[in-house]
Amino acid sequence: MKSQSYQALLVGLLLTLLAGCQPKPVPSIADQLGRVWQAQTVKEGDLLVYTLGGSSNVKPGYVNFRLDLSQPGGVKLKDIDGRQLTGTWTVSTDNRRLLLSGLNPRPTNTDGSIDYYIVEVPTATSLRLERTAESRKTGNSLNQYGLVPE
C-alpha cells in the first residue's frame, strides 16, 4: 500500500513538473525584422558596389541606406539616392518575402510596392535580402543587400 502511495506521489510530482515546462517561444521572422537596418554589403547584379566602412566603394551613397522596420507594419526606406519612402511592410505567409507596399513617393515604374526575397532566416544581427524585380535606379539590376542593425 505504501509503495502504491509513493508511486502515485512520484507520478503526481512528475506530471506537475512536466506541466510547468513550457517550450521557449521562437521569435517570428517579423519579430526579427523589427529594427532599423543599414547596408553592410550591396551587390548590384554580380558586382559588389558597397561595403560598410570600405574606402573604395563603387557606390558610396549606400552609406545612407536605411530600412526602418522598427514600427509594427510601418516602413521607412532611404535608398541610394537619399530619398525617403514611407509605407507599410508585411512578411509573406511562407516567410520568404518582405513586402513593402503603399510607398510614398511611389518608386519609379512600380505600383508603390517593392518586394524582397529573404535569402536567409534573419537574426538579430543579420538580414539578407534580394530584390524580386530589377531596380531602375541602379541600371535595371537585381540587387542583393547584406544588412546589419544600425
Give the domains, in start order, of the chain with CATH numbers: 26-149 (2.40.128.280)
Q: What is the C-alpha to C-alpha distance for residues 106 and 34, in angstroms, rounded to an integer?
A: 23
pTM over 0.85: no
Q: What is the pLDDT of residue 2?
A: 62
Beta bridge partners of 68: 36, 76
pLDDT tens string 41-90: 999 999 999 999 999 999 999 999 999 999 999 999 998 888 999 999 99
pLDDT band at 136 (very low <50, low <70, confident <90, very high): confident
pLDDT at 92: 94
Q: Which residues of 66-89 are buried (b: 16+ CB within 10 A; e: fewer)?
A: ebbbeeeeebbbebbeeeebebeb
Residues in the chain: 150
What is the rounded distance in angstroms from the CA atom of residue 97 to the CA atom of residue 132?
A: 9
- The pLDDT score that the predictor gives to residue 29 is 84
Q: Mean of the pLDDT values across residues 86-103?
A: 96
With a cut of 90, say whether residue 25 has pLDDT above it. Answer: no
Q: Could you tell me the CA-to-CA distances from 101 to 24, 105, 142, 144 in Å, in that order?
A: 33, 11, 19, 19
Query: Are the beta carbons of 103 and 112 closer than 8 angstroms?
Result: yes
